[in-house]
């Protein structure tokens, strides 16, 4: 089954937090001492993230990040038309962030703030799991009135990261503007913490506004209460056009238009770091959808992108990785 968009549009617009990722390899004890749930995301203030960074064994590596931004960069590197909407600070980190968007073929649509550009300490444990501590900074100051019609002009799909659920007025403004622009709306649930803490609003928008719903196993369990994959996927699918259940090294399952498609993983399931795996999976999948791929082809492209990003530390695919992706899937 092929996904269709208004007027055969192909532009994908990502909306989310403009963040810089700080990547640190640490033992499980680091996460436990910080009092965080392993594999989750914890919002912290600037003092807390500075303190945690100071406790890392080696100074963290720094790369552009944020869930929807990672997806947008992936689409850009695949050759797709893509825009990113967010808010950055008036600082050097913000300049680096915006320059990286342009270098990766992403059109920036960034508001500015006098607050620092946001950042995320992503702690990578020996099992390749990542636990995130997020200081939103300028990203948290995006206002509903800054979501203007030109943000989504010409969009086929507006891809929203679940973290926006923490700012209800902003999420509402994004959904309203995206629908007014005639775009389909994709939501990545982002983290089981997000689902648990935003359940009332999440239930409402999934029932009324979302066209494509993307979840991993932990997020699906939090949303549906079901460990059984078939039942969880059925519940995820109830009110949306397409639902995706990502099952890590076992691949993914896509439900939509009356069919269920199982996508095999690429490789042997090994990972150096899972940071950005879901974001890059979404990049491949959404790119495939707007370019006329069927579910199986789109999912296979998502799987290829997700696999390659897991072979390096950080939410980036290197030049050789992108070459392998282009050889793996014949791009239109």
The residues spanned by each domain of the chain are 6-17+66-111+152-324
- Looking at residue 318, the DSSP 8-state letter turns out to be -
Chain mean pLDDT for the chain: 91
Give residue 131's pLDDT band: very low, low, confident or very high (50, 70, 90): very high
**Domain 6-17+66-111+152-324 of CATH type 3.40.1190.20:** yes
Question: For 10-29, what is each residue's pLDDT tens digit?
Answer: 999 999 999 998 889 999 99
DSSP string spanning 109-174? EEEEESSPPEEEEEEE-TTS-EEEEEE-GGGGG--GGG--GGGSTTEEEEEEEGGGGGSHHHHHHH
Radius of gyration of the chain (CA): 18
Question: For 133-169, what is each residue's pLDDT tens digit?
Answer: 999 999 999 999 999 989 999 999 999 999 999 999 9
Q: Which distant-in-sequence residues (6+ apart) come within 8 Å of 315 by Cβ?
A: 21, 63, 65, 70, 275, 276, 279, 280, 309
CA-based torsion, 222, 228, 229, 235: positive or negative: negative
At 329 the pLDDT is 62
């Amino acid at each position: 089954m092929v996904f269709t968009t208004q007027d055969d549009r192909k532009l994908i617009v990502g909306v989310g937090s403009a963040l810089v990722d700080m990547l640190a390899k640490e033992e499980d004890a680091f996460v436990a001492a910080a009092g965080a749930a392993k594999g989750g995301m914890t919002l912290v203030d600037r003092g807390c993230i500075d303190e945690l960074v100071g406790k890392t064994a080696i100074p963290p590596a720094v790369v552009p990040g944020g869930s929807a931004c990672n997806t947008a960069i992936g689409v850009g590197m695949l050759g797709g038309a893509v825009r990113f909407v967010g808010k950055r600070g008036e600082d050097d980190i913000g300049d680096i962030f915006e320059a990286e968007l342009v270098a990766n073929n992403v059109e920036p649509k960034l508001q500015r703030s006098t607050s620092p550009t946001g950042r995320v300490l992503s702690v990578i444990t020996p099992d390749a799991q990542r636990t995130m501590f997020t200081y939103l900074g300028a990203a948290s100051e995006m206002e509903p009135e800054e979501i203007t019609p030109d943000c989504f002009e010409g969009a086929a799909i507006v891809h929203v990261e679940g973290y926006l659920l923490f700012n209800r007025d902003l999420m509402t403004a994004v959904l309203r503007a995206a629908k007014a622009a005639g775009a389909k709306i994709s939501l990545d649930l982002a983290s089981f913490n997000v689902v648990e803490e935003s359940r009332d609003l999440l239930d409402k928008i999934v029932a009324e506004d979302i066209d494509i719903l993307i979840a991993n196993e932990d997020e699906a369990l939090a949303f549906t209460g079901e460990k059984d994959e078939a039942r969880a996927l059925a519940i995820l699918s109830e009110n949306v056009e397409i639902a995706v259940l990502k099952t890590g090294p076992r691949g993914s399952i896509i439900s939509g238009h009356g069919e269920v498609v199982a996508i095999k993983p690429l490789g042997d399931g090994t990972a150096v770091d899972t940071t950005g795996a879901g974001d890059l999976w979404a990049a491949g999948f959404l790119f495939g959808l707007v370019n006329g791929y069927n579910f199986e082809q789109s999912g296979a492209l998502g799987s290829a992108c997700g696999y390659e990003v897991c072979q390096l530390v950080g939410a980036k695919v290197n030049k050789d990785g992108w070459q392998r992706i282009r050889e793996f899937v014949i791009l239109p």
